[in-house]
Amino acid sequence: MVLRGISSSFFYTNSTCRCGFFSIECGFFSKFNLVAGFSKSSSLGRRRSYGSHLSYFSHPSNSRFVQKPRPSLRGFSVTMAAAPSLDSSQKMVLVPIATGTEEMEAVILIDILRRAGSEVTVASVEETLQIVASRNVKLVADSLISECEKSKYDLVVLPGGMPGAERLRDSQVLKKIVQQLAEEGRLYAAICAAPAVALEPWGLLKGLKATCHPSFTKKLQISEALELRVVKDGLATTSRGPGTAIEFALALVEQLYNKQKVEELSKALVLRTQSKFGPAKRDYNSTKWFSASEGKVPLVLVPIAHGSEEMEAVIIIDILRRAAADVVVGSVEETLQITASRKVQIIADKFVKDLLNSKFDVVILPGGMPGAQRLRDSEELSTILKEQAEGNRAYGAICAAPAVVLEAKNLLKVSTKRGKKATSYPAFADKLSDKSASDARVVIDGLVATSQGPGTAMEYALSIVEKLFGQEKAANIAEAMVFPYQ
């Protein structure tokens, strides 16, 4: 395929350290070259180019990185060598959360770092374990921050979101933990608003290059590196927003572990690679999903269960709420609180059994195992999905759920003489009756939308926003997230 962009190479010059390459395609990590230039049309019709790369910067106390620029093309691509890896033993990581924390960023970090094998402690800086995040997702922490003060961590990473970043900044216990971490030569990181709102006033970015969410760059007293998606300088790693959170998390995995771990996770997350690059989206039998007449707001159900994939669930909820959809998170369990596949604790808004009389415009199922099986086995959810199909209203699923739920319930065969085209997590594709579109990251066939996995969840959710509200709305949300969507 054509690589677009200004190219730069970053080489790690310490010969005693193992070096490895990893890459991003449209903001996602892959195995070969960092390829991340993209452009989109603004509401004014102009083309805007966005770059995406992780840069390492040197200091006298650290090993040296040398930048070698290459000729400019459209967009840009970057190839860089990995930072020195720590040993592969289990790492201790602290992810603090607060009222107003950006839930996508927090959950992506927790999920990916736990996938890598880290022992991740989610700590609330509030007086209670439960917090309400920026898009009203209710999360339950493992500990209070006061209980973490004497623990030793290899990494502390701050999610963004407002006022969450301010509440993290104002936690004196958290400030002490991170400052002590820096003094002892261990890693710390922040994303979105948190680099400018927390790390900067704590004095932890002094003399370092960093990045943050575009709307907070004026608060960051640094003249360089602001436009980069992920920046590592010394012990600090910073990033821009929800749309860069996956590559940010994987950059931290690279530092804690090694390149091989990043490659393994990239495959499991279904991130774009040059070696296997299916179509981004396939759209068949275009059908209008929703009519926003008289100011009507689409009502969306996102059911969850024990074992649901938390990244997929939270990304879908967050993005649809950003679009101003009325999203109901429904539990199929006997309790509102569920434990997701990577042990993130999420509290649903309602029980699915109490929603049988509701008429949803869209129902979207997250994947994860055994979460998808538990969704499949819910009689109440089966009733809602059946009525959704018979009423010619939209529904969809991601990851394992298209095969485990929709296919099993004959919901990919309704209303037409042929089965609906769909995609799913690659390991479940053989269970689809029509596999002809299973290589695509997102498939929309009429009123049915499916997708492949955690690494496709943002583009999937934005595709649903586009069906409900139009392309301009989806593009504006993607831009605010710092995510490449076109």
Residues noted as catalytic: 192
Segments of 422-486 assigned E as strands: 442-445, 448-451
Whether a cis peptide bond, with omega within 30° of 0, leads into 69 is no
Between CA 402 and CA 32 the distance in angstroms is 30
77 residue type, one letter: S
Using an 8 Å Cβ cutoff, are 250 and 97 in contact? no
Residue indicated by tokens 């390149």: 259
Using an 8 Å Cβ cutoff, are 269 and 455 in contact? yes
Determine how β-strand 92-97 pairs with β-strand 155-158. Answer: parallel
Q: Which of 13, 16, 19, 54 is nearest to 35 (CA)?
A: 54
Q: Which of 262, 311, 279 is nearest to 30 (CA)?
A: 262
Between CA 193 and CA 238 the distance in angstroms is 10
Using an 8 Å Cβ cutoff, are 93 and 255 in contact? no
Quick one: CA dihedral 188, 192, 198, 202, positive or negative? Answer: positive
67 residue type, one letter: Q
Which residue intervals of 258-392 are DSSP H helices?
A: 259-269, 310-322, 371-376, 379-390
Locate 158 and state its tokens.
């701050």
User: What are the respective helix, strand and coil percentages of the chain, to the nearest 5?
Assistant: 30, 25, 45
Residue 81: DSSP 8-state: B
